[in-house]
Amino acid sequence: MPNKPVVRSRRFVKDTGVFRVEEMDLKFANGETRVYQRLLGSSRGAVMVVPLLDRETVLLIREYAAGMDRYELGFVKGRIESGEDLLEAANREMQEEVGYAARRLDPVRSVTVAPGYLLHSTHIVLARGLYAKRLPGDEPEPIEVVPWKLNELDSLLQRDDFTESRSITAFYLVRELLARENRN
């Protein structure tokens, strides 16, 4: 594996309120130089929570996705706020978005979306032992909660409104984790 490029300089370009844009002047091991731009997300990252309602059912949410200008199905997600660890953030986001808290939260895996230009990690968390508890959130409208059977992933993948790669990845990872647990 080659050595990482040397960062000769970094320049702040713009803060959009969601992302900060940075330029990096890089020198590669072969002597080539390039200027790369990258988006800096939240330094703490984000959580994506898979709420397991019962042994067979997860809870999805349907909310407006501005990037695609349509409503999308996906899992609970949000930023890790200052002073929170990822499990606290997962439990808070679940209470805000689906009206449940969890007795058990298990980190599953951290994933990136576009590591070529986005510095951001999403931590996938499995939530079990759900109980009703709602916190006020910052959503502009009520979020629809959609129960979905774990064994109906194929039909979910056929839908035009379930396209987010993090949600698809989370569904596969959690389904496999639960299958391993059931085999043991």
**105-156 pLDDT tens trace:** 999 999 998 888 888 899 999 999 999 999 998 888 989 999 999 999 899 9
In a domain, 1, yes or no: no
Q: What are phi and psi of 95, to 5 degrees?
A: -65, -35
For residue 75, what pLDDT is reported? 97
Task: Please give the structure tokens belonging to residue 68.
Answer: 């695609």
For residue 131, what pLDDT is reported? 97
* Number of domains composing the chain: 2
For residue 73, what pLDDT is reported? 97
Q: Are residues 68 and 130 in the same domain?
A: yes
pTM, 2 dp: 0.90
User: Are 90 and 100 within 8 A, CB to CB?
Assistant: no
The domain of 30 spans 6-40
128: Cα separation from own chain's centroid: 18
